[in-house]
């Protein structure tokens, strides 16, 4: 007799022995741990479950599952698989000899929700049955379920999160880290207050039966736990929202019908966004762990893929839009929104008017995650202009590093501590050997200021050679080397100690040094420039010209400063530092913006010789520069760049975006030069084809129109006609496609 037939024979025997049933037909059903069979007898159809006899706690839980179903079947006949007692009246038979536990339930016919076409009517009926079930579960007191500390329970995200390190790639892992961080920030403090009750705990669409456009039954109470009631809804939503283009719209019918029967309070609704993210993350952690036990199997399963997509979409949607949609569906009032005009007026009562606000309609930001920023109205913006949150807004690894370090030690460079040693070593390893000293400050401006002092102290000279349209910061000394400022509106004109090198423009011969500059040969302390001059409209200084300026400066004993505030840390893609494309090695490098993902930190890296000259008896001290918190954050940024290969992403996605722009330019006369490298791009907006007059009004119109499409960009350049594209380095090709699609729609 085949193994299968023998097994069926065995089950037939069990059913006869324990249940007094003569089975006519037995069919195996899919089950994870348990062996489930569909059994047909004269008296009807049943589901027979045979599970291994494991721990007393597990036995108590499966006994409780029967009792829960018994209770529910009484209250809502037909909606639950009613347990069928054995001949001796027991709901659960322990077959000690076979080492198994048997249970028998009435079979309910129907189609799985997972295999049914979802309509809002169907999901509304799901919400209704779920709420009625929860109402029936609330009064039940089940000891074993109460004692359960379950790795699928949202409350115990940490149990699943210990497997997060199995999750690949790093770009997915970071989303799980993000929702784990938000769980601890947003959910955990509320846990003691949340209404807890017995919940089904796994109302996924494979556990729900449908008949005639209505949910008929909810199956499988093997995951029942005491947990915040809202988790029931979060889990149901996590599954039905998979594969939906507009998840919030699909969540509404379920929430509406659920809350009409069982109202949810504001705190529960506010947490729902994070709890859906929690459930998806828990599932992805478990599946990654499962896969890790099958070496060589890196392929994501179908449901995993759907969860990955949903998690990405969920992050893009953000908590504000979700909260608004959920509140609306649950019949709760929306929080009031302060009119923008009122806020703007208030702001001008305390901030100077020369602090600008972007866009014709300003944005009041509430939160952000990676390449997305969320306003108070529920808009989620794709951030394409912000090069400070370099590895992505609120990157969990960076936030955690800062939180941990701040809770441990925050002091200054007058003490020895690990963080500054570890960080300095990691940072300097990214530079050519001759750049082996680092000073820490707290802003790009302070770093520029210090770089100028270093150069002046080292050379004993005052004069600075600067690039036309360059910008290096807001301190008095930095303004004096920022042509963009001293020669711009409100500027005082060329300072006595400053000389300007003309910036090359495309198609023209390289500029020559002017007579003033040549005459100052022998008096110049330093030449300072960015390799890609941002305020000039993202102009990449030609290699040949850069060599000429470095040579001119060095021949007379001056030093060369590379301002990498905008171009450092892998943004150029192929290079980690902007200066690398020239083949030149500067003497001093200024670092800031991306260095700590938005935490105020900056550094000046220089040669040993320059640092020694600076040690002239005057102490250098910065109260906050190089503190352990900043160093820990800086370290996390470097680790994330490496782990997520963000420099490689900058190279690939940047090249992809350039290609999209080149294709777009073929049919659009308003695109001029496309400049830059990696994810540091400048796209000229012109009147009629490359080389034609700048079109700043059009650039401004596009930037404002894109803002209405939830894409954030800015303009730059002396004519303000260059689209400045410097997104966080986690920017994707799909984001690039979206941007170009919206841009094409404007023309």
Q: Is 270 in the site for ligand PMP (CB under 6 A)?
A: no
**Minimum distance from residue 445 beta carbon to ligand PMP (Å):** 3
**Minimum distance from residue 533 beta carbon to ligand PMP (Å):** 8
- Evaluate whether 497 touches 477 at the Cβ level (below 8 Å): no
The per-residue b/e assignment along 608-617, b for 16 or more CB within 10 angstroms, e otherwise, is: eebbebbeee
Q: Is 383 in the site for ligand PMP (CB under 6 A)?
A: no
**Minimum distance from residue 586 beta carbon to ligand PMP (Å):** 14
Q: How far lies 272's CA from each of 123, 265, 321, 452, in Å?
A: 17, 11, 12, 52
**Minimum distance from residue 469 beta carbon to ligand PMP (Å):** 11
Between 498 and 566, name the residue whose CB sits nearer to ligand PMP.
Answer: 566
C-alpha to C-alpha distance for 222 and 144, rounded to whole angstroms: 12
Out of 216, 472, 675, 707, point to the residue binding ligand PMP (CB under 6 A).
472
Range 89-108, binding ligand PMP (CB under 6 A): none
- Evaluate whether 579 touches 585 at the Cβ level (below 8 Å): yes
Task: Transcribe 162-183 into DSSP letters.
Answer: TTGGG--SHHHHHHHHHHHHHI
Q: Which residue is nearest to ligand PMP (CB)?
A: 444
Between 473 and 537, name the residue whose CB sits nearer to ligand PMP.
Answer: 473
**How many of the chain's residues bind ligand PMP (CB under 6 A)?**
14
Q: Is 459 in the site for ligand PMP (CB under 6 A)?
A: no
C-alpha to C-alpha distance for 208 and 545, rounded to whole angstroms: 69
Contacts of 496 (CB under 8 A, 6+ apart): none
List of long-range contacts for 424-430, beta carbons under 8 Å, 24+ apart: 424/631, 426/635, 426/638, 427/603, 427/605, 427/634, 427/638, 428/605, 430/576, 430/577, 430/638
Between 446 and 610, name the residue whose CB sits nearer to ligand PMP.
Answer: 446
Between 332 and 602, name the residue whose CB sits nearer to ligand PMP.
Answer: 602
Q: Is 569 in the site for ligand PMP (CB under 6 A)?
A: no
**Minimum distance from residue 350 beta carbon to ligand PMP (Å):** 20
Strand partners, 192: none
Q: Is 480 in the site for ligand PMP (CB under 6 A)?
A: no
Out of 232, 449, 563, 647, point to the residue binding ligand PMP (CB under 6 A).
563
Between 281 and 448, name the residue whose CB sits nearer to ligand PMP.
Answer: 448
- Evaluate whether 95 touches 102 at the Cβ level (below 8 Å): yes
**Minimum distance from residue 549 beta carbon to ligand PMP (Å):** 17
Cα radius of gyration (the chain): 32
- Evaluate whether 400 touches 653 at the Cβ level (below 8 Å): no
Q: Is 577 in the site for ligand PMP (CB under 6 A)?
A: no
**Minimum distance from residue 384 beta carbon to ligand PMP (Å):** 17
x/- map, 592-631, ligand PMP, by CB under 6 A: x---------------------------------------
| β-bridge pairing 602-607 and 671-677 | unpaired
Q: Interface with ligand PMP by CB under 6 A: which range of 112-120, 282-290, 470-478, 517-525?
A: 470-478
- Evaluate whether 565 touches 592 at the Cβ level (below 8 Å): yes
Task: Transcribe 566-625 into DSSP letters.
Answer: TT-TTTTSS-SSGGGGGT---SEEEE-GGGGBTBS-EEEEEEHHHHHHH-SSS----SST
**Minimum distance from residue 331 beta carbon to ligand PMP (Å):** 46
Out of 104, 252, 427, 565, point to the residue binding ligand PMP (CB under 6 A).
565
Q: Is 448 in the site for ligand PMP (CB under 6 A)?
A: yes
Range 490-549, binding ligand PMP (CB under 6 A): 530, 534
Strand partners, 715: 723
What proportions of the chain, in percent to the nearest 5, are helix, strand and coil?
45, 20, 35
**Minimum distance from residue 534 beta carbon to ligand PMP (Å):** 5
**Minimum distance from residue 589 beta carbon to ligand PMP (Å):** 12
The tokens describing 429, both together, are 């390893």
Out of 201, 222, 473, 718, point to the residue binding ligand PMP (CB under 6 A).
473
Helix (H) or strand (E) holding 697, with range, is helix 696-708
Between 66 and 559, name the residue whose CB sits nearer to ligand PMP.
Answer: 559
φ, ψ (nearest 5 deg) of residue 259 = -75, -20
Range 417-446, binding ligand PMP (CB under 6 A): 443-445
Between 375 and 530, name the residue whose CB sits nearer to ligand PMP.
Answer: 530
- Evaluate whether 380 touches 371 at the Cβ level (below 8 Å): no
**Residue ranges that bind ligand PMP, judged by CB under 6 A:** 443-445, 448, 471-474, 530, 534, 563, 565-566, 592
């Amino acid at each position: 007799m085949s193994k299968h037939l023998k097994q069926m024979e065995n089950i037939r025997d069990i059913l006869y022995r324990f249940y007094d049933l003569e089975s006519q037909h037995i069919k195996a059903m899919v089950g994870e741990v348990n062996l489930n069979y569909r059994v047909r007898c004269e008296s009807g159809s049943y589901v027979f479950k045979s599970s291994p006899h494991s721990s007393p706690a597990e036995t108590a839980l499966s006994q409780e599952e029967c009792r829960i179903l018994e209770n529910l079947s009484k209250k809502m006949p037909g909606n639950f698989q009613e347990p069928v007692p054995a001949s001796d009246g027991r709901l659960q038979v322990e077959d000690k000899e076979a080492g198994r536990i048997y249970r028998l339930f009435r079979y309910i016919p129907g189609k799985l929700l997972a295999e049914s076409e979802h309509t809002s009517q169907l999901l509304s009926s799901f919400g209704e049955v779920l709420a009625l079930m929860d109402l029936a579960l609330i009064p039940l007191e089940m000891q074993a379920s109460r004692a359960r500390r379950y790795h699928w329970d949202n409350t115990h995200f940490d149990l699943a999160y210990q497997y997060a390190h199995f999750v690949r790639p790093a770009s997915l892992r970071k989303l799980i880290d993000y929702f784990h961080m938000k769980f601890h920030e947003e959910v955990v403090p509320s846990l003691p207050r949340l209404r807890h009750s017995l919940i089904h705990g796994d109302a996924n669409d494979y556990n729900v039966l449908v008949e005639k456009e209505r949910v008929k039954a909810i199956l499988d109470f093997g995951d029942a736990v005491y947990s915040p009631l809202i988790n029931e809804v979060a889990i149901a939503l996590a599954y039905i929202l998979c594969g939906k283009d507009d998840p919030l719209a699909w969540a509404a019918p379920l929430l509406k019908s659920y809350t009409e029967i069982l109202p949810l309070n504001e705190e529960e609704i506010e947490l729902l966004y994070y709890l859906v993210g929690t459930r998806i993350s828990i599932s992805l952690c478990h599946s990654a762990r499962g896969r890790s036990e099958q070496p060589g199997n890196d392929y994501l399963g179908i449901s995993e893929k759907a969860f990955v997509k949903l998690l990405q979409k969920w992050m893009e949607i953000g908590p504000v839009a979700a909260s608004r949609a959920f509140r609306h569906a649950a019949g709760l009032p929306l929080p009031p929104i302060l009119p923008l005009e009122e806020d703007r007026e208030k702001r001008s009562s305390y901030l100077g008017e020369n602090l600008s606000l972007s866009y014709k309609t300003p944005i009041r930001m509430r939160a952000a995650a990676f390449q997305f920023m969320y306003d108070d109205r529920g808009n989620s913006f794709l951030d394409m202009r912000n090069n400070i949150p370099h590895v992505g807004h609120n990157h969990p690894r960076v936030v955690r590093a800062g939180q941990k370090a701040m809770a441990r030690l925050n002091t200054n460079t007058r003490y020895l501590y690990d963080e500054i040693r570890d960080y300095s070593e990691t940072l300097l390893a990214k530079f050519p050997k001759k750049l082996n000293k680092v000073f820490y400050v707290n802003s790009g401006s302070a770093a520029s200021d210090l770089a100028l002092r270093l150069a002046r102290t080292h050379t004993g000279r005052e004069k600075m050679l600067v690039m036309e349209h360059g910008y290096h910061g807001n301190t008095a000394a930095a303004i004096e080397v920022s042509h963009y400022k001293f020669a711009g509106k409100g500027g005082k004109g060329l300072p006595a100690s400053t000389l300007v090198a003309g910036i090359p423009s495309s198609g023209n011969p390289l500029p020559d040094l002017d007579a003033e500059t040549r005459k100052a040969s022998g008096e110049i302390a330093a030449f300072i420039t960015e390799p890609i001059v941002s305020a000039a409209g993202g102009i990449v200084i030609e290699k040949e010209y850069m060599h000429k300026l470095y040579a001119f400066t060095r021949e007379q004993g001056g030093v060369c400063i590379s301002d990498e505030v905008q171009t450092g840390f892998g943004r150029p893609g192929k290079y980690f530092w902007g200066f690398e494309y020239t083949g030149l090695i500067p003497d001093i490098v200024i670092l800031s913006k991306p260095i700590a993902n938005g935490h105020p930190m900056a550094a000046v890296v220089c040669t040993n010789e320059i640092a020694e000259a600076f040690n002239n008896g005057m102490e250098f001290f910065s109260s906050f520069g190089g503190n352990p918190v900043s160093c820990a954050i800086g370290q996390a940024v470097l680790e994330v760049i490496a782990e997520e290969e963000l420099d490689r992403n900058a190279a690939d996605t940047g090249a992809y975006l350039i290609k999209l722009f080149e294709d777009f330019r073929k049919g659009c006369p308003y695109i001029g030069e496309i400049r830059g490298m990696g994810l540091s791009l400048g796209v000229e907006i012109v009147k009629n084809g490359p080389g034609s007059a700048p079109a700043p009004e059009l650039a401004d119109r596009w930037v404002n129109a894109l803002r209405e499409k939830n894409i954030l960009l800015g303009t730059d350049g002396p004519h303000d006609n260059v689209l400045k594209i410097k997104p966080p380095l986690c920017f994707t090709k799909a984001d690039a496609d979206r941007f170009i699609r919206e841009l094409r729609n404007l023309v």
